[in-house]
Structure formats: structure tokens, C-alpha cells
């Protein structure tokens, strides 16, 4: 019996790529770097804001010495966050069927949490905006806590909600999520509607690979 479901956020619960892309382009433009088309951004996300910005930089800047590159990324991050904080819900929307999945979990007394590499303040704002009173815990990027695929965030969630690995299922749309679940000893349901190509997810051999959010209900509730 599932006691706890841990969801990734971007690409799993919500399609947030446009708001992420616009914020990154805003930061790039502020520093007079070339911007990217929205359809380029799915391959850049999944490892936190710093890695998104680094991947979006021109090749010349990506090749800077590590300390110079890190300082540049931090400058762009400040610009990114100022824009994203004001616009993170402009185009972002839950995937069709997700609200019904969360309602079914709630009705069946299954605990729900979010584990995301998005910084904490934005994760909380988006989750509380679109999914009020649904989640027991939201764990975003936090200082001193390694990002997924390190399992620390997932372990903290399970400890806080008193759930054992065999009672917990991880739901995500990326290879990072599949690796995170494996590192934490959890079963994982991979979602093909997010930002990672289906074949890559299949090659990673998750416990389940589904194409429709409503397919989560029988897997989580039985």
C-alpha cells in the first residue's frame, strides 16, 4: 500500500518551460548574450537554475575558468530570479489530469510531497498557486542540501512524513528523477508527457513508464 507519493514539479505536475525560458532569455538579454527558442529549453532544465543558465550561455562563456564562469552564472541568476519571481505563473499550467490524480490521492489518504531542483521560494509559490492544500511538504533547492539525483531531499521528505522506502513512490519526468529514486531505493513511475524524450526514459528502465497522468491512479491507489 502506498503511503507517500513524491512528485517532481517541472515537467511532471506542471508544464513550466515557457516561464523558465522567458526568465532565462531575460537574463541572457540583460548581459547581451544570444537568447534561445522555447523548444530548446527542455533539454537544458532539470538540474537547477545555475545549470540551466550555464547550459544557455554561449560556448565561449561555458569555457571560462570555473571561478569566472561561476561568478557570471551568479550574476545572471540574480537577474533570472528577479524576473521569474514576478512571472513564474504567467504561462505555467498543470498538465491535464493532474488535479484529478491529486484529488484521488487525497481521498485515499495518501501523503503527497514535491521534490524539485527549482529554488525553494518559486517551488512553494507555484505549488501553492496551482495545488492549494494538496501537498504535505515541498522540498526545493536549499542551501547545504545537494540537488537531485542525490537522494538527500527525498530522504528528508520520508523522514518528515514518517514513510519507509517500501511505502513510497517517486513520480518524475526525467533521467534525474529516475536516478534519484534509484539512489533512494524507491520505486519510480516515469512520465512521458514532460521534458525528456520517451525513448530515453524507457532506456533508463523505470518501474513504470506512463503516457497519461490518469494512469497514475491505479498504480498509486490500486
Q: What is the CATH number of the domain that holds 156?
A: 3.40.50.1000
Give the predicted TM-score (pTM) of the model: 0.95
The model's pLDDT over 207-216, given as tens digits with 9 standing for 90+, comes to 999 999 999 9
The model's pLDDT over 92-129, given as tens digits with 9 standing for 90+, comes to 999 999 999 999 999 999 999 999 999 999 999 999 99
76 & 119 share domain: no
Decide which of 87, 104, 132 is a domain's last residue.
87
123 & 203 share domain: yes
N- to C-terminal Cα separation, the chain:
8
> In the chain, what's the furthest Cα-to-Cα distance?
53
Give every CB contact of residue 140 below 8 A, 6+ residues apart in sequence.
Answer: 114, 116, 117, 118, 119, 120, 121, 122, 123, 124
Decide which of 87, 106, 121 is a domain's last residue.
87
Q: What is the CATH number of the domain that holds 63?
A: 1.10.150.240
* Domain residue limits at 43: 17-87
61 & 163 share domain: no
10 & 22 share domain: no
pLDDT band at 133 (very low <50, low <70, confident <90, very high): very high
State how far the alpha carbon of 16 is from the alpha carbons of 13, 164, 195, in Å: 9, 31, 10
User: Closest by alpha carbon to 105, among 212, 27, 211, 2?
Assistant: 2
68 & 171 share domain: no
128 & 48 share domain: no
Q: How many domains would you assign to the chain?
A: 2
Residue 150 carries which DSSP code?
A: S
Q: Is the C-alpha dihedral spanning 129, 56, 32, 120 positive or negative?
A: positive
25 & 41 share domain: yes
For residue 15, the model assigns a pLDDT of 98
Report H helices in the chain.
Answer: 17-30, 49-56, 59-62, 66-87, 98-107, 120-130, 152-161, 175-184, 198-203, 216-221
| Pairwise CA distance, residues 131 & 49, whole Å | 22
| Pairwise CA distance, residues 104 & 73, whole Å | 41
71 & 130 share domain: no
80 & 103 share domain: no
148 & 216 share domain: yes
Amino acid at each position: 500500500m502506498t503511503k507517500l507519493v513524491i512528485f517532481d514539479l517541472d515537467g511532471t505536475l506542471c508544464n513550466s518551460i515557457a516561464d523558465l525560458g522567458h526568465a532565462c532569455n531575460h537574463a541572457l538579454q540583460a548581459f547581451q548574450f544570444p537568447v534561445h527558442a522555447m523548444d530548446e529549453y527542455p533539454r537544458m532544465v532539470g538540474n537547477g537554475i545555475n545549470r540551466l543558465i550555464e547550459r544557455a550561455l554561449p560556448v565561449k562563456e561555458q569555457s571560462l575558468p570555473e571561478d569566472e564562469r561561476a561568478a557570471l552564472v551568479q550574476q545572471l541568476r540574480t537577474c533570472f530570479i528577479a524576473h521569474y519571481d514576478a512571472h513564474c505563473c504567467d504561462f505555467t499550467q498543470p498538465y491535464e489530469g493532474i488535479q484529478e490524480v491529486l484529488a484521488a490521492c487525497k481521498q485515499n489518504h495518501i501523503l503527497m510531497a514535491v521534490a524539485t531542483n527549482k529554488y525553494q521560494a518559486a517551488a512553494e509559490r507555484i505549488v501553492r498557486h496551482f495545488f492549494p492544500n494538496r501537498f504535505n511538504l515541498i522540498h526545493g533547492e536549499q542551501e547545504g542540501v545537494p540537488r537531485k539525483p542525490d537522494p538527500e531531499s527525498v530522504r528528508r521528505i520520508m523522514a518528515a512524513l514518517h514513510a519507509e522506502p517500501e511505502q513510497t513512490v517517486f513520480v518524475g519526468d526525467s533521467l534525474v528523477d529516475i536516478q534519484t529514486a534509484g539512489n533512494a531505493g524507491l520505486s519510480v513511475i516515469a512520465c512521458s508527457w514532460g521534458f525528456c524524450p520517451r525513448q530515453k526514459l524507457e532506456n533508463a528502465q523505470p518501474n513504470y513508464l506512463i503516457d497519461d497522468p490518469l494512469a497514475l491512479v491505479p498504480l498509486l491507489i490500486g
